[in-house]
Structure formats: C-alpha cells, structure tokens
Amino acid sequence: MIDGCGRTIDHLRLSLTDHCNLACRYCVPNNASPCGQMIDEDFAFELVRWLSTHHGIHHLRLTGGEPLLYPPLLRLIKRLATIASLREITLTTNGQALEQQAAPLADGGLSRLNVSLDSLDAERFARVTRGGTIERTLRGIEAAIEAGLTPVKINVVAQKSFNDDEIADIAQWGLLRGCVVRFLEVMPIGPLAHVAHEHLVPASEILDALSERFTLTAISGSIGQPATDYAVTGKCIRGVVGVIAPTTRPFCNRCRRIRITSSGRIVACVHDGTSLGLRKFWDGKKLHIQGANEVLLRAILAKPEEGPRQQTLSMVTLGG
C-alpha cells in the first residue's frame, strides 16, 4: 500500500480497547480512562485479515488502552497467527497483568512485546501512572523474557524534572536483562498537550545522559525508523538503546504506519485529528470489502506529508 507521498504503509496499530488499568498523566485525561470500548473479536480479526491479505500489512501491533485487559486476547492472537502474510504480531503493554499472560501469549503466537516503564522508583512509578505497582510490571518483564518474547523492548517517556535523572539507570537495568530500551520524547498529544514543551527532554539531552555512562554507536539502518538505535559497548554491558524523537527529529517522511481505534476508525496520522469509520462495513459476520476499500483509500491518500500536530484525542483512545 503506497500513500499519496510515496510511503509504503505496511504497519498497523490496532487498539483492542480504550480501557486502561493505569492512567498515565500524559496519556489519560482527567484521571479517568475513556469509555471502555472493546473492539469485537471477529471484526478485529477480519480487519487484520483484509489489510494483510489484500493491502500488504505485514506488521501488526496490538495496543490500547491496555490490550492485556481485552478478554479474548489469547484467542484473537491464535487466530491472527494463522494469517500467512502477517510477519509479526507484537503488543504494547504497561505490564501490570503480564506475569500470568506472558507464557500463554508466547505459545499462542505473539512474536514479542514492548513494556512501558517510565521510572524504576516505586513512588515515581505510582505517581506517573496514577496508582500503578512497579513490582507487577517488573515481574511482567521477567516473565516475558522467560517466555522468549525477546527482545523485550522497554518504552520510557522521558519527562523533564521527573525521570530525566534516571535515563542511564533505566537503560542499564534493561540492558542487563537483554532488553532494548527506547526513550521517547513526550508528544503534544493528550492531557499535557498544551504544556508538552515544558515536559520535553529532547533527543540530544537523552543521548547526552546515555553517553555519560555508555559508549554509543548509531546503528545505521535504524536512523529515524522511527527509533534511532545505538549499539552500546562497554566492558560489562552491551546491547541496544534507542531514541524516538517525534518533536526534535521528526520522521514523518519515513512513517509506514496506520492505526485503527477500538471503535473501528482508521487514523492515518497520529498527529492529525481526522479519522474515518470502518464499523459500518461490519454486519456482525462479514466485512463488506468494497466500502472498506474505498474508505481505506481515502484515508491513505489523505495521510499528511508532515503531521500537523493537531490531534485532539489522547493516545489511550488512538492506540499508542
């Protein structure tokens, strides 16, 4: 699938639910999760089968909200794993319910996963997530490694005066466990959108903090893809860290991604407030391909060359 700017689109982020058991302060508005929308399991499966079989989507990330709260998750993954054109099924989670689910998900066909972890300090973790228990996420990460969902990628949203003093510590913690640790610039999306610049730790500062402790070498193929990854070499430690910098090093020209929300809307660009509905083409048993194809084409052709930074929804609704 080629968009109007010549970019190949082969990655789909599918939000299974906008419900979350945490309420990260930069992600969930007003201390409350949105309405708890769950996508119908058959609709989700047929959407992915259609997009993968007919439109070249080869990489699927299941997200939310919190995808581990989606009751038929394991059954859906087993069904998705039968789609021959899908090269990988990955998932992004806060890890709170991961310890029990990691092994069955790996057996069911999940390729690997990303876990969000913004601090190693229990009190800070509880504060940023509004109530999360760090031990549960840490045990979830260990269980995912044990289950072979590797490399586990750790997502860290770098935030000024919150965790910018922990950047090297979190990297070291992850590297010692064989994880890839990726630091994200906070995006102007969600409850802190209007003050995102105050919370922003630019990529340059993230790299300075990492370089004080580690020797970093950029991995050439990865530059701006959207993560720029760095090989870490040292006497006692090695591995990969990455930086995702949508604000100071935007990568729109290399974006290969579309999203579908748990209410069945296509979001072609995370920074653009427009979306198009697919739910009307699902009759409870069958996806009506002709209408869905027309809407997909409209969405893909309207994908902006550069994200206009006009998103009004939060990541918890869009599917992060």
Nearer to ligand SAM, 141 or 296 (CB): 141
- Beta carbon nearer to ligand SAM, 15 or 296: 15
Contact residues for ligand SAM, defined by CB under 6 A = 20, 26-27, 63-64, 66, 92-94, 116, 155, 157, 184, 186-187, 189-190, 315-316, 320
Tell me the closest approach of the beta carbon of residue 234 to ligand SAM, in angstroms. 27
**CB-CB contact of 253 with 305 (8 Å):** yes
Which CB sits closer to ligand SAM, 14 or 57?
14
- Minimum separation from the CB atom of position 182 to ligand SAM (A): 9
Q: Give min distance, CB of 35 to ligand SAM, in A.
A: 15
Q: What radius of gyration, in Å, describes the C-alpha atoms of the chain?
A: 19
- CB 137, min distance to ligand SAM, A: 9
Nearer to ligand SAM by Cβ, of 93 and 261: the residue is 93
Residue nearest to ligand SAM (CB): 320
Smallest distance, ligand SAM to C-beta of residue 252, A: 16
Give least dist CB 117 to ligand SAM, A.
9
**Separation between Cα atoms, residue 256 and residue 62, nearest integer Å:** 16
Rounded Cα gap, residues 61 and 40, in angstroms: 17
Name the residue nearer to ligand SAM (CB basis): 191 or 264.
191
Residue 20 near residue 33 (C-beta atoms within 8 A): yes
Which one, 186 or 299, has the nearer CB to ligand SAM? 186
Integer Cα distance of 87 and 54 in angstroms:
14
